[in-house]
Structure 1
Amino acid sequence: MADLNYHHLRYFHVVAHEGHLTRAAEKLNVSQSALSSQIRQLEDRLGQKLFDRRGRSLILTEAGRIALDHADSIFTTGRELLNTLKQTGMARRPLRVGAISTLSRNFQLSFLKPALGRKDVEIILRSGSSAELIPALTALQLDVVLTNQPPDADALSDFVVQAVDTQPVGLICTPDLCPKHHSIQELISTVPLILPAYSSVMRMHFDALCDRLDVTPQIAAEVEDMAMMRLLAREGAGLAVIPSIVVKDEIVSGRLIEAHVLPDILETFYAVTVRRKFPNPVLSLVC
């Protein structure tokens, strides 16, 4: 089997980062036709198409993104070799993770823990809305999206939705805010509440619980961001309806307490991926 031509790989590396054949040709000081020929030879050698052309731009295919990851590692290691002959370094495989910006940081940390500290893994963490992250996932710019509200899927969808954690939801507050021995009904009806936004599944289940208990909640705040709910609970602004994992450090320290676990209300956290011909092997560490 013939060895990989690293001259071709260098040309591919520049084109992939430029995203445009003309700019890459100018940077490499070669003609566009020569550069196109080099890329075709690399594609023939790998047996995979590396680019899709959209207008004047070149978009990496799935195989192209994998080739770029390896090319980045190869040329990074080459630079390290030139910098020092004593330490050649270790190439790190990137794991690109998107997390809904309102998601619990403690859950994110727990999910990433198996990959943290590894010398062969580089974690690239991006936060944003579902409208931002899901298209990035389908465009193969992310390997996985963490969310508590998975995208709609059907028989034609490429999404793979995996439930990776389920946490009970409780009534969380400062010790001085909750009268001792009060029932769930008494707390909900008399203590100001910090509730998740109407759009969340957790809020829907909480409202259903209030209907079953025939109580009217005293709402102090409605918040989308779990991190903000955590801060408000710490400030004594009300009784927060959140999973205990969000405030586990404060509960351990005694700064916050869980007055009650709410019956039949769970927060499920999901890892969303897409079916890929070449899945990122690092995903097996965390999923």
Structure 2
Amino acid sequence: MPLNYHHLRYFWAVAHDGNLTRTAQRLNLSQSALSVQIKQLEERLGHPLFERRGRQLHLTEAGRIALDHADAIFSTGQELVATLTGTMQTRKALRVGALATLSRNFQIGFLRPILSRLDVEVILRSGSPTELLEGLEALNLDLVLMNRPPPDDSLTPYETHHIGEQDVSIVGTPKRLETDLPIQELLAEQPFILPTTDSSVRTAFDAMASRYSVRPQIAAEVDDMAMMRLLAREDIGLALVAPIVVTDELNSGRLKEAKEHPRIKESFYAITLRRRFPNPLVQEIIEQNSESAFLS
């Protein structure tokens, strides 16, 4: 039996409104009639499209998939009417969440395989770990980029993909690193720009300083990699960062790496949700990044 597009349009309207009563009023239908139309679509597709939480309607996973297709279908129809040139290629969407403090260079490197594709639209959101994981569970995001894995237990539905890791360097202006001092002397003599104490990189740095019996001078504690770049460029101190964060500055000579590396690594992860209907773009980009060497 072919799909009834009237049913699909009613579902599409409710999904975007998020409120059955309001949509029924806008479409000049009774609420019960609208409910029947959506019920018939659910029966045709074989899956519930909404779940009710209190007074609010939330899309199920099947509902999110249906909405993606409905958006594409009705967008194509609008383009057809507007341009009279026939159906254009449907663009697929990839919704990516990234930790607000994560290196922009890393994000671009991860997304590069699909950014230039004309058939893909990348929707990028940033936020805190809690916000991103909630977005993943609500099916508003397809994957999340982080520099630490989420909590791992039998109750969490996450799949954690280790994308790669990179050695962390001590970086500063050429003047500040004019002489190739060993790390122990840099720790004792130079101010440092460090990640905040909840970072695994910071934990490793503090352990290293303890081994050397040195208490470094901390010029700034920063949870934003972009701000760490700026502070290092302004010669506030030496920054503890992965080179991918300051690629442009290293290439231009505005910043340089200390000769001795601190032997600390930063890891990068793509977090997904175990889904019955996964976005095929997710597996594609994860596989492409596992084969690439953008973190090397």
Give distance in 1, aligned partners of 2:168 and 2:261: 6
Aligned to 2:272: 273
Unaligned 5+ segments in structure 2 are 287-296
- CA shift at 1:155, angstroms? 1.8
Deviates more, 1:166-175 or 1:147-156: 147-156
Give distance in 2, aligned partners of 1:179 and 1:218: 19
Aligned to 1:121: 120
Give identity over the alignment, percent. 58
Change (3 A) 1:224 1:51: same
**3-state SS in 2 of match to 1:276:** coil
User: Where do 1:67-82 residues align within 5 Å?
Assistant: 67-82=66-81
- Does 1:48 find its partner at 2:72? no
How many pairs are equivalent?
A: 286
C-alpha RMSD of the superposition:
1.2
Aligned to 1:7: 6
Deviates more, 1:274-283 or 1:49-58: 49-58
1:193-240 deviations in whole A, cap 9, x for unaligned?
A: 111111100000011111222222121111111110011011111100
Change (3 A) 1:184 1:50: same
- CA shift at 1:182, angstroms? 1.0
**3-state SS in 2 of match to 1:151:** coil
1:36-75 deviations in whole A, cap 9, x for unaligned?
A: 1111111111011101112332111000000000000000
Amino acid at match of 2:7: H
Give distance in 1, aligned partners of 2:75 and 2:260: 50
Give distance in 2, aligned partners of 1:94 and 1:178: 45
Aligned to 1:236: 235
1:4-23 deviations in whole A, cap 9, x for unaligned?
A: 11111001100111111111
User: Where do 1:143-154 residues align within 5 Å?
Assistant: 143-154=142-153
User: Where do 1:13-162 residues align within 5 Å?
Assistant: 13-86=12-85, 88-162=87-161
Q: What is the TM-score with the length of structure 2 in the denominator?
A: 0.94
**3-state SS in 2 of match to 1:95:** strand
Give distance in 2, aligned partners of 1:244 and 1:163: 19
User: Where do 1:200-279 residues align within 5 Å?
Assistant: 200-260=199-259, 262-279=261-278
Aligned to 1:164: 163
- CA shift at 1:285, angstroms? 2.8
Unaligned 5+ segments in structure 1 are none
Give distance in 2, aligned partners of 1:195 and 1:149: 17
1:80-118 deviations in whole A, cap 9, x for unaligned?
A: 000012253222111111111111000000111111021
Deviates more, 1:52-61 or 1:75-84: 52-61
Amino acid at match of 1:184: I
Amino acid at match of 2:127: G
Q: What is the TM-score with the length of structure 1 in the denominator?
A: 0.96
**3-state SS in 2 of match to 1:262:** coil
- CA shift at 1:261, angstroms? 5.1
Change (3 A) 1:235 1:87: farther
Aligned to 2:291: none
- CA shift at 1:262, angstroms? 2.9
